[in-house]
């Protein structure tokens, strides 16, 4: 019995060792950090035709992946593949294409989790373990709206919004709410974002050189990654505008977009790089004057798109190049022709006429474009081209007039110079007089000051002598009074002392008795007097009988019987 039990224990121990060697040596594997293991089951029921990821008990690639760490799987039953996890860096998003799940309803192309197709939800920055067999993740830039811009959102999914209205939830079209500057994680398959400059922009009509729209550039920040995202977004928007301008330039007028660049301190840009993406197309501001001459001019119009109106302007007319091309430029040309035809050619040469023309254009453009939610701030006319046959006589007349004015001004200048020289001479003369008067005043002031100082010193000396005199009198009186007080003290003390002696003598009623008392009172306290009386015996015998006691320091006279 004991042998059988020992054999069983031996077999169990051997089986445990073999099992441990099998699990630790053949079944164990390690998934490193930032990786995951895709597991394929070699056994189980086969997958249906429309299923690509297997569940537990099915043969094929398992839907669940294994995270980093130590795992144990039977290599005869499972195979594995170690792949990196899906990492989405900051400023990026992940657009997920699911190859598994339920089919989408008809008309839908965005899926929710558990459905097959492009997920509506995007993955933000982070790490995700999605089985690469069933899920495809495209990493794209997040939407970063720069400062000075607004993002107009166009929904790409849902039912089409009614004509002339903004898109609501689950509707396709332009949305009323805009994106303020910042970072947004939006699905590019669900929303399209157009960045439009807000604030003041310029439309410059450059006469025969063409026209351009000058817009604000990207403001640099301290965040390099954010700057790159914003620059990428602006580049994509510029590509859209370039495509629009290329299409609009075929057979009709269009404008060129020239974004103003703001150069970083640590960057060096060549001049041709600063205007990269600029498109110059022929566009003129020409109109006949009232007297039949052809006038062309350079003009700059400052306009502004308010944030509250950006979405409505975009929904009605499109991006900024389209707004300028369809609305602003035609109105500039129309108003310029209409207002300019009321002026003669001479009015555009003389400053007052051009200034009045500029004010009328500004007022008319501001009124017309305000109805379209575009604010006009100013219109500046910088150069006017007038035909030579009228320009030259007007210039010669103006030159003659200016020459006459110049000669008159020269005469006035000469007269003023003579008056100035006279005044300068008078000023020098007056300066000398003032200097003499100043010296005189300084001497008078100095003498007066010295006089006042002498008077103050004499008065001080006199007051000092008087004070010393009064001090001496006080000292003399003090000495006198102190002497009298000391004499009085001596007189009073000695008088009282003599009176005391008189009282003592009167108390003894005998001067001799008083003197004896004084004598006894002045003796030393330790003196003792022994008076021995000699009787019948001899002197030596009496001395032996005498007893000297300790009298305690008192003056005692003892008589020996």
In the predicted structure, residue 494 carries a pLDDT above the cut 90: no
In sequence order, what are the residues at sequence separation of 6 or more whose Cβ sits closer than 8 angstroms to the Cβ of residue 177?
153, 311
pLDDT for residue 520: 76
89 and 55 Cβ atoms separated by less than 8 Å: no
Q: Looking at residues 338-346, what average pLDDT do you find?
A: 80
DSSP 8-state secondary structure symbol assigned to residue 106: T
Helices assigned H by DSSP within 107-162:
none
In the predicted structure, residue 169 carries a pLDDT above the cut 80: yes
Q: Looking at residues 503-507, what average pLDDT do you find?
A: 78
Q: Name the average pLDDT for the chain.
A: 79
Q: How many CB atoms lie under 10 A from the CB of residue 364?
A: 18
For 221-236, the three-class secondary structure string (H helix, E strand, C coil) is CCCHHHHHHHHHHHHH
Query: Read out DSSP for 258-326?
Result: EEPP---TT----HHHHTTT---B----EEE-TTS-EEEEEEEEEEEE-HHHHHHHHHHH-SHHHHIII
94 and 128 Cβ atoms separated by less than 8 Å: yes
State the pairing for strand pair 171-179/159-160: parallel
In degrees, to the nearest 5, what angle opens at C-alpha 195 toward C-alphas 119 and 176? 70
User: Is the Cα torsion angle 405, 411, 412, 417 positive or negative in sign?
Assistant: positive
Q: Looking at residues 309-314, what average pLDDT do you find?
A: 88
pLDDT for residue 267: 38
Beta-bridged to residue 81, according to DSSP, are 38
pLDDT for residue 544: 52
CATH class name, domain 143-263+276-386: alpha beta
301 and 365 Cβ atoms separated by less than 8 Å: yes
Q: What is the pTM of this model?
A: 0.57
Query: Read out DSSP for 152-193?
Result: EEEE-SSEEPPTTS---TTEEEEEEEEEPSEEE---TTTEEE
Distance of CA 18 to the CA centre of its chain: 69
Query: Read out DSSP for 5-41?
Result: HHHHHHHHHHHHHHHHHHIIIIIEEEEPTTEEEEEEE
Phi, psi of 355 (to 5 degrees): -65, -40
Long-range contacts of 312-319 (CB under 8 A, 24+ apart): 312/176, 312/373, 313/372, 313/373, 313/374, 314/152, 314/174, 314/194, 314/196, 315/166, 315/173, 315/174, 316/372, 317/372, 318/244, 319/194, 319/196, 319/237, 319/240, 319/241, 319/244
Choose between 255 and 205: higher pLDDT: 205
Question: Using 50, 70 and 90 to split pLDDT, how confident is the model at 260?
Answer: very low
Q: Looking at residues 346-373, what average pLDDT do you find?
A: 84
Instruction: Burial-class residue 136 by CB neighbours within 10 Å (0-12, 13-18, 19+).
Output: middle
DSSP 8-state secondary structure symbol assigned to residue 59: S
pLDDT for residue 558: 43
Distance CA 318, CA 305 (A): 13
Closest of 100, 86, 180, 182 to residue 133, by C-alpha: 100
Q: How many CB atoms lie under 10 A from the CB of residue 434?
A: 10
In the predicted structure, residue 389 carries a pLDDT above the cut 90: no
In the predicted structure, residue 425 carries a pLDDT above the cut 70: yes
pLDDT for residue 552: 44
Distance CA 420, CA 431 (A): 16
Distance CA 149, CA 442 (A): 73
Pick the range with the lowest mean pLDDT from 92-101, 359-368, 386-395, 457-466: 386-395
Distance CA 322, CA 314 (A): 9
pLDDT for residue 314: 87
pLDDT for residue 550: 45
């Amino acid at each position: 019995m004991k042998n059988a039990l020992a054999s069983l224990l031996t077999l169990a121990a051997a089986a445990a060792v073999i099992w441990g060697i099998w699990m630790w040596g053949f079944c164990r594997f390690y998934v490193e950090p930032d990786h995951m293991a895709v597991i394929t089951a070699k056994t189980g029921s086969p997958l249906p035709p429309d299923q690509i990821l297997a569940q537990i008990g099915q043969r094929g690639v398992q839907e669940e992946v294994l995270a980093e760490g130590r795992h144990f799987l039977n290599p005869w039953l499972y195979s594995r593949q170690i792949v990196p996890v899906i990492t989405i860096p900051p400023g990026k998003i992940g657009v997920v294409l699911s190859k598994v799940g339920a089919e989408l309803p008809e008309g839908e192309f965005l899926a929710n989790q558990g459905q097959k197709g492009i997920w509506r939800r995007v993955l933000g920055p982070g790490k995700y373990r999605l089985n690469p067999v069933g899920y495809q993740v495209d990493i794209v830039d997040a939407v970063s709206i720069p400062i000075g811009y607004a993002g107009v959102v166009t929904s790409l999914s849902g039912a089409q919004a009614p004509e002339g209205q903004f898109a609501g939830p689950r509707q396709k079209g332009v949305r009323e709410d805009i994106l303020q500057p910042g970072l947004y994680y939006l699905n590019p398959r669900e929303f399209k974002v157009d960045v439009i400059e807000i604030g003041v922009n310029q439309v410059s009509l450059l006469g025969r050189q063409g026209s351009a729209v000058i817009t604000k550039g990207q403001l640099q920040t301290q965040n390099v990654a954010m700057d790159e995202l914003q620059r990428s977004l602006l580049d994509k928007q510029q590509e859209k505008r370039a495509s629009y301008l290329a299409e609009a330039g075929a057979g009709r007028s269009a404008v060129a977009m020239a974004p103003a660049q703001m150069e970083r301190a640590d960057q060096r840009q060549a001049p041709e790089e600063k205007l990269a993406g600029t498109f110059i197309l022929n566009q003129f501001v020409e109109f006949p004057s009232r007297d039949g001459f052809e006038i062309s001019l350079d003009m700059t119009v400052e306009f502004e798109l308010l944030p509250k109106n950006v979405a409505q302007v975009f929904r009605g007319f499109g991006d900024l190049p389209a707004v300028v091309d369809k609305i602003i430029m035609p109105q500039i040309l129309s108003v310029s022709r209409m207002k300019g035809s009321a002026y003669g050619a001479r009015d555009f040469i003389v400053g007052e006429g051009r200034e009045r023309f500029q004010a009328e254009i500004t007022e008319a453009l501001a009124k017309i474009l305000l109805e379209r939610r575009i604010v006009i701030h100013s219109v500046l006319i910088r150069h006017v081209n007038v035909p030579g046959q009228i320009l030259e006589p007007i210039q010669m007349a103006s030159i003659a007039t200016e020459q006459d004015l110049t000669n008159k001004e020269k005469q006035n200048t000469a007269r003023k110079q003579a008056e100035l020289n006279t005044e300068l001479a008078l000023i020098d003369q007056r300066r000398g007089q003032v200097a003499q008067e100043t010296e005189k005043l300084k001497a008078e002031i100095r003498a007066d000051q010295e006089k006042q100082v002498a008077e103050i010193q004499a008065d001080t000396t006199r007051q000092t002598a008087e004070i010393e005199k009064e001090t001496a009198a006080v000292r003399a009186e003090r000495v006198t009074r102190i002497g009298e007080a000391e004499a009085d003290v001596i007189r009073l003390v000695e008088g009282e002392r003599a009176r005391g002696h008189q009282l003592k003598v009167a108390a003894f009623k005998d001067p001799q008795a008083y003197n004896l008392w004084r004598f006894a009172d002045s003796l030393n306290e330790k003196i003792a007097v022994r008076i021995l009386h000699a009787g019948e015996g001899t002197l030596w015998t009496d001395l032996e009988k005498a007893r000297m006691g300790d009298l305690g320091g008192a003056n005692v006279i003892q008589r020996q019987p």
